[in-house]
Amino acid sequence: MEINETTLASWVSRAKRAGNGWGESEAEELARLRRKVAQIDEELAKQPRGS
């Protein structure tokens, strides 16, 4: 693909200004789910391994 350097720079600039596109509620939900996964991982690590 041959993309003009100026065009590419413009796209990158627009993407940076737009951010990740997530609102606050989505970011909070992602953080909550990551904490839950970490909690479940810890609980599983504490359980004895079955034979």
**How far apart, in whole angstroms, are the C-alpha atoms of residue 3 and residue 39?**
46
**How far apart, in whole angstroms, are the C-alpha atoms of residue 4 and residue 48?**
59
- Which portions of the chain are predicted below pLDDT 50? none
The CA-CA-CA angle for residues 12, 27, 25, to 5°, reads 120
Burial of 27 per CB tally in 10 Å (0-12, 13-18, 19+): exposed
**How far apart, in whole angstroms, are the C-alpha atoms of residue 2 and residue 43?**
51
Q: What is the pLDDT of residue 27?
A: 79
Q: What is the pLDDT of residue 38?
A: 95
Q: What is the pLDDT of residue 41?
A: 92
